[in-house]
Amino acid sequence: MKNNNKQYIAWLEKQSMLYHAKFLAQKISGKKIQWQQPYAIPQTESAIKTASVWFSAYPDSMITRSGQNILQSLADTKLWNAFEEIGINAVHTSPMKLAGGIAKKKYTPSVDGRFDRIAFNLDPALGTETDYLNMVNTAARHKAIIAGDIIPGHTGKGADFQLALRNYKDYPGIYDLIEIDQKDWHLLPKVDDEWKSVNLDHDVIDKLQKCGYIPGRLQRVLFSVLGASKKETGWDATGEISGVDGTVRRWIYLHYFKPGQPTMNWLDPSHAAQRIISGDIVQNFHILRNKIVRLDATPFLAIEPVINSSYAWSEGHPCSTIATNNIACLIRKLGGWSFQELNLTLDAIKSFSENGSELFYDFITRPALQHAILTKDATFLRFMQKLMQEYNINPRSLIHGMQNHDEITYELVHFIEHSDNEFKYENKIINGKYLRDKIVEQMHNIAINPEIPYTRLSGNGLCTTFTGLVAARLKITDIYNLTDKQKEIIKCGHLLMVIFNAMQPGVFIISGWDLVGALPLPLDKIKHLIFDGDYRWINRGAYDLIGSNPKASVSISNVPKALFLYGSIPKQLKDPNSFVSQLKHILKIRKRYQIDLAEQIAAPKVKNKGAIIMVHKLTKNSSYQITALNFSDQTIVEKLDLNALKLNNPIGNKVTDLLTNKKYAAVDRNGILNIELKTLQGKILMIDSK
């Protein structure tokens, strides 16, 4: 069969997202539904009031009951009873649409956990639309919502991409896709298979830039294999492909991530990318009835040449901000909300947040928190809190997260872009490059060690679980044979990260790996998953949240089951000292005092390097809440001067330890509150108003 004949092209078109987007648009265009909601301004407070404690699912790592699919598992009443008891009122499903690619008429698997979707319909391996709506209804009965995903940055190599390569209609306008004149084919590498592509070397990119084909190299390659002899560049070349007009073409295309994720072009006259994403928005909110969605890869929606530079302006572009704002507005217009992953500079995050999504992942304090755990020193964490205040970024707009499916990223992008700027750090004036290099070196010196086999570097950070991170701090060599004492210390470190994230305004999100205390997977168990150098599978071990299938050794997606420290949620809820029971207690405090809506008024100076203190003004009354944490390996005492914080007459006020619900101390006549913290201990204190 020729791969450009009418029958094949017609089949591809019926599989494409652009084709189905027009039918989805018809459900909204000319209808009253799009004129019932305000949409210009982000509705952060409304989103937080609806749900501020989320569970982050990762379908490939979930173990279900025998005969049960993933969506049925996420609708399990036993699971939702447990979530409601803990205090979780939203589930973020992670990508669930059909993903991967098409070669001839064969569907190929996803190359990145369904972050390369090729259709609006759900992946049948996960369940049906009926299953999805049942999950939404089950969540609603437990006063919770479902969060989905939209990926404006790229697609997979599905029907839309194959039609673009065959120059069909306006499909080429979907992508950052460039036809190369035949006279210049000699610049491209040989590609024998029309279904494959080859990554371009830097020298080829430079030549193509001089010929006017592309804007240049990327500022940052977001997926790379550490130690690989050939570095990924973000540009790939296709083989010779016969178009619908009979012309044979070769193309090059942009991908910020893996080659199987071609980047969408948000400034093409066809507006084809916008039409696809608009269809996805309608599907998510009008049909699947999600209440909020993640917008992935939004900083990478525009690229342009920079005069006299081999590097393009490839992230944080104003057009990316404008495109994201438009997406967020359409979502609000249809009655929903959105949140974003923005691993960018603080100034870029501030720009994206002004008229865009309601919420953003906290990539500001996240790497600093992990640095504090590893080094026993919270200096960098305090520094990032202060920097966030200087940029006027409200923690209420952030999603403060525990482990997720990615590596523990510490690219510290702010200090790449501000490499020559001067910062005061540890009473010294240093530039951004020196600071970044220092932090990365400190983390590597502890975590990357031949005697610690359960951590690995990716191109952008450290691959391990949060339990593995604490174990690396302890220099544990055999994580699979821990003593009871080691297990308890790891749990304390894990809970310290919970307190830091949960006792801040905004959204708190936690994963299945956190809830069961998953340990990193041994490399010899995941050879079939890391063949391309993607070591993130170390931290993606399979888990069974409710103990529904104890005999299972792998997930439905053949991910090996992780060893765990804590066990299933129902089992932990019976033990008041367990991780989940203590999490439940912390979240109960968070809810009772509305920490999610509080105002963070200070992160005061401390005398101990391992300490950090956050002060919040509550919304209900004039009380103040204080979170104090100790990352060091010794007992410390902090003297908090409340007068210096200009609190309302704190002298003599009673202070309550909310974790023990006992009187802690009183503020002395000088306005000083003494806070004693043991190693890896956090305290949640309330200064009661008179």
Domain residues for the domain of 426 are 44-153+269-588
Q: What CATH number is attached to the domain comprising 620?
A: 2.60.40.1180
Expressed in angstroms, the distance from the first to the final Cα of the chain is: 82
CA 395 to chain centroid? 16
Residue 468 lies in a domain: yes
**Residue 104, helix vs strand vs coil:** coil
Residue 22 lies in a domain: yes
Residue 205 lies in a domain: yes
- Same domain for 465 and 541, yes or no, is yes
- Same domain for 573 and 621, yes or no, is no
- Same domain for 82 and 179, yes or no, is no
- Same domain for 205 and 243, yes or no, is yes
- Same domain for 389 and 537, yes or no, is yes
- pLDDT on residue 229: 44
Percentage of the chain beyond pLDDT 70 is 98
Residue 32 lies in a domain: no
- pLDDT on residue 226: 55
Residues 233, 200: contact at Cβ < 8 Å? yes
- pLDDT on residue 622: 74
- Same domain for 364 and 468, yes or no, is yes
- Same domain for 577 and 670, yes or no, is no
Q: How far apart are CA 649 and CA 643, in angstroms?
A: 8
- Same domain for 393 and 273, yes or no, is yes
User: How far, CA to CA in Å, does 644 sit from each of 612, 626, 671?
Assistant: 16, 15, 9
Which among 206, 225, 254 is the end of a domain? 254
- pLDDT on residue 645: 86
Antiparallel, parallel or unpaired: β 90-92 and 101-103: unpaired
- pLDDT on residue 665: 84
Which among 219, 254, 289 is the end of a domain? 254
Please state the domain count of the chain.
Answer: 3
**Residue 382, helix vs strand vs coil:** helix
- Same domain for 214 and 357, yes or no, is no
**Pick from 233, 269, 275, 239: nearest CA to 254:** 233
Q: How far apart are CA 541 and CA 525, in angstroms?
A: 10
Sign for the CA dihedral angle at 370, 376, 380, 386 comes to: positive
Q: How far apart are CA 111 and CA 420, in angstroms?
A: 37
Partners of residue 666 on adjacent β-strands? 654
Total H helices, total E strands in the chain: 20, 30
**Residue 578, helix vs strand vs coil:** coil
Residue 535 lies in a domain: yes
Q: How far apart are CA 196 and CA 452, in angstroms?
A: 38
Which among 189, 224, 254 is the end of a domain? 254
- Residue 567 neighbours by CB under 8 Å, 6+ apart: 516, 517, 547, 578
- pLDDT on residue 532: 83
Residue 262 lies in a domain: no
- Same domain for 112 and 184, yes or no, is no
Residue 462 lies in a domain: yes
Partners of residue 401 on adjacent β-strands? 509
Residues 598, 505: contact at Cβ < 8 Å? yes
Contacts 24+ apart (CB under 8 A), 281-285: 281/150, 281/327, 281/330, 281/331, 281/334, 281/336, 282/24, 282/25, 282/27, 282/28, 282/334, 283/24, 283/120, 284/148, 284/150, 284/336, 285/331, 285/334, 285/335, 285/336
User: How far, CA to CA in Å, does 366 sit from each of 334, 380, 610?
Assistant: 32, 11, 16
Q: How far apart are CA 118 and CA 112, in angstroms?
A: 12
Q: How far apart are CA 532 and CA 539, in angstroms?
A: 16
**Pick from 624, 665, 629: nearest CA to 646:** 624
Residues 235, 256: contact at Cβ < 8 Å? no
- Same domain for 229 and 160, yes or no, is yes
Sign for the CA dihedral angle at 198, 202, 204, 207 comes to: positive
User: How far, CA to CA in Å, does 96 sit from each of 63, 101, 124, 262, 269?
Assistant: 16, 15, 9, 19, 30
- Same domain for 302 and 443, yes or no, is yes
Q: How far apart are CA 504 and CA 380, in angstroms?
A: 18
Q: How far apart are CA 573 and CA 662, in angstroms?
A: 23
For the chain, residues with pLDDT lower than 70 are 1-2, 224-231, 649, 689-690
- pLDDT on residue 1: 45
Residue 367 lies in a domain: yes
Residues 456, 538: contact at Cβ < 8 Å? yes
- Residue 443 neighbours by CB under 8 Å, 6+ apart: 370, 371, 374, 375, 410, 462
CA 394 to chain centroid? 19
- pLDDT on residue 228: 53
